[in-house]
Chain A
């Protein structure tokens, strides 16, 4: 066990070092702004939305799949939850609505993938397009404001406990629960088995199809929670929310050391990967740099992270 723990720690250690290096760069280049509590809070708030999605994505990818529909499903959930009809039932129903829409979309995709034997890439790509279209149709391409009587949703962003907005606690809760499910439950253990060797999992008596469907439902559930967070942060529901979030989430998972082929990965790694990404965005903004350069930097980070991981894997075997 000690050896394995050490390897795992070492893998995260690289990410932690990268994170600290980026923070050091921030402190040097923007000494007056980077270290302020308001900046750190904004980094966490920014990370919260994609962070929640990343937790779901980690499950899907460890389980051998991929979910391209996350950003669009989140947008659909935010639109559905902010229609005047939904809003008339109050903030609790809005939140429940967002979660149900997300989970429902995930279930549909998961059903097609597991029982319809379709390729995850294609099913979730179709879901991406269709969910975005449905969101546009429902909202008539207009941004839907949260009504004043439902401001409880917005208060998730404005109310602070111990200096942090409530939505950061939601993010933290999702991470903790996600970690526990992945590492301490039969569902989590079977996720590794299903992703690492689906045939072996099936022959060991695991219901691989049902499990696969549940993984996508879980990812959809996370998109629903992310929709609540984005509604809180922007006070709106919109079909344009979450554009290209799927790429950031997948990138975070990959940087975090999860194998795209499934069977191996960690939630902690994914979150560290996401924080690295968010920190880069923050540094570029603070220094008034071009956003195009920011994209180039992110691309490089992905390549470097994967190269380092491959070297790590080879040196072990």
Chain B
């Protein structure tokens, strides 16, 4: 088989980060080439370069023997590279055929030729082995798996020679994955190359031909045989990243044993997301949840916080049952959340740093609804100083801050000193607290989180970065497909073992 795509020495620099530092990738026509790597290894950047979203700073891309340089996404699609992102970019209100030909409709004098498009779409769907999908069906009514087929039909309609799929199985149920694989085989059978990104090793073994592993923005291994390479080899190639995080010292193992439970979740279940999750957090303890995207970790945190309503199970805070489905209640009882998506779920982008800090505890600065602005400002200033926000100015618009400082402001929201009759924070739920935060600021955040725990707050920490969970938490729960598959002291685990568990599901 001939090399369809050859990437050599790709370098991509972002402000403050070298996302790609010399990546090579060879993809042959008709193969499924799997891309593996931990979060932050550079997979996303690499596929965005392939999709024409980013332009590389250095390196060459050769497609079908010709050197190419994409000025934008349209240029990449014209050259025959289609990318299917996790968040499918389909328009729910349009039909399958209209989605397939979106942007390059069959039209005459501006009038779409519906019959012709429906026929062409039916043919493409047939090529993918899904002749049963009717082109005139509205896409919004399709299940996730069928939407993916529509995305692939769209790729084919652009005469794609190479299709990049970013974690296509993350949103699918198990039987739907088998169907996805059938479609992928149909594609490769017709000579189309597929770059397949997944964290699930058993999938890679089933569908993949060759594997390229990325680590720290570099290629750790090129073209390994997908079926024969032992798991241990793959995991060792992905682990041992060079990034040095400085973690604060931990208390002795078992030192939390006698302390009261701040949080107890019993048999928590949310169908399709997670099942029968039981966990506890003691005073002063940091408990880490390790798992892949889609393993249910964020959903568990949101359910504990009352942002989602479980179908079974209960949550106790300081041994008192918490009424499910009410964030207002959870906050009043002493929980605080730093959500996964800082910008869309936590920050008030129009407001200042100070007002972002005081918003959650606003009632404590007010009497009968009237805000005591002097006290509010003093408290904001105190926290800006205590959390070492830079610049140390509570009146700055929060959107001008770096990611790390924004995250400190979100944490600060839960640390305002309580007035009479208001409980102080008992439990902090931190979902990906260091996402988009540079290395230096990470160390500060880690130290801050540990300091809060030492003051007696219970912390439940979620992170995709295994070293972070292992380095910061006292106790770790490993999640896979919505169930807790392992629980132990963080010091008894290492990165390779956790990675093996969350990717394969079989403890070594």
Using a CB–CB distance below 8 Å, which chain A residues touch chain B? Answer: 1, 4, 184-187, 189-190, 192-193, 196-197, 199-207, 263-264
Evaluate contact between B359 and A203: CB separation under 8 angstroms: no
Is B280 part of the contact surface with A, judged by Cβ < 8 Å?
A: no
- How distant is the Cα of A190 from the Cα of B358 in the complex, in angstroms? 11
Given contacts A1-B395, A185-B366, contact A203 B350 (CB under 8 A): no
Evaluate contact between A185 and B371: CB separation under 8 angstroms: yes
* Residues of the B chain whose Cβ atoms lie less than 8 Å from the Cβ of A192: 348, 350-351
Chain A interface secondary structure, helix, strand, loop or mixed? helix
Evaluate contact between A186 and B366: CB separation under 8 angstroms: yes
Residue of A nearest to B332 (CB): A205
- How distant is the Cα of A3 from the Cα of B351 in the complex, in angstroms? 13
- How distant is the Cα of A190 from the Cα of B332 in the complex, in angstroms? 16
Given contacts A185-B371, A189-B359, contact A196 B349 (CB under 8 A): yes
* Residues of the B chain whose Cβ atoms lie less than 8 Å from the Cβ of A205: 327-328, 330-332, 360
Evaluate contact between B350 and A264: CB separation under 8 angstroms: yes
Residue of A nearest to B346 (CB): A200
- How distant is the Cα of A193 from the Cα of B360 in the complex, in angstroms? 10
Given contacts A4-B395, A186-B363, A186-B366, contact A204 B413 (CB under 8 A): yes
Stretch from B24-32, B84-92, B337-345, B498-506 forming part of the interface with A: B337-345
**Can you give 10 A-B contacts (C-beta < 8 A)?**
A4-B395, A184-B370, A184-B371, A185-B369, A185-B371, A196-B350, A196-B351, A201-B348, A203-B337, A204-B413
* Residues of the B chain whose Cβ atoms lie less than 8 Å from the Cβ of A189: 355, 359, 362, 371
Given contacts A186-B363, A192-B350, contact A202 B369 (CB under 8 A): no
Evaluate contact between A193 and B359: CB separation under 8 angstroms: yes
Evaluate contact between B307 and A263: CB separation under 8 angstroms: no
* Residues of the A chain whose Cβ atoms lie less than 8 Å from the Cβ of B395: 1, 4
Is B373 part of the contact surface with A, judged by Cβ < 8 Å?
A: yes
Evaluate contact between B348 and A197: CB separation under 8 angstroms: yes
B residues 343-388 near A (Cβ < 8 Å) are 344-352, 355, 359-360, 362-363, 366, 369-371, 373
* Residues of the B chain whose Cβ atoms lie less than 8 Å from the Cβ of A193: 348, 351, 359
Partner among A187, A196, A203 whose Cβ is within 8 Å of the Cβ of B345: A203
Residue of A nearest to B369 (CB): A185
- How distant is the Cα of A207 from the Cα of B331 in the complex, in angstroms? 11
- How distant is the Cα of A205 from the Cα of B425 in the complex, in angstroms? 13
Evaluate contact between A206 and B373: CB separation under 8 angstroms: no
* Residues of the A chain whose Cβ atoms lie less than 8 Å from the Cβ of B371: 184-186, 189
Is B446 part of the contact surface with A, judged by Cβ < 8 Å?
A: no
Is B196 part of the contact surface with A, judged by Cβ < 8 Å?
A: no
Evaluate contact between B348 and A196: CB separation under 8 angstroms: yes
Given contacts A189-B355, A189-B362, A204-B359, contact A197 B347 (CB under 8 A): yes
* Residues of the A chain whose Cβ atoms lie less than 8 Å from the Cβ of B346: 200, 203-204
- How distant is the Cα of A80 from the Cα of B350 in the complex, in angstroms? 41
Evaluate contact between B352 and A202: CB separation under 8 angstroms: no
- How distant is the Cα of A1 from the Cα of B397 in the complex, in angstroms? 9
Extra 7 A-B pairs, beta carbons < 8 Å, given A200-B345, A202-B327, A205-B331? A4-B395, A186-B366, A189-B359, A192-B350, A203-B327, A203-B346, A205-B360
* Residues of the A chain whose Cβ atoms lie less than 8 Å from the Cβ of B331: 204-205
Residue of B nearest to A195 (CB): B350
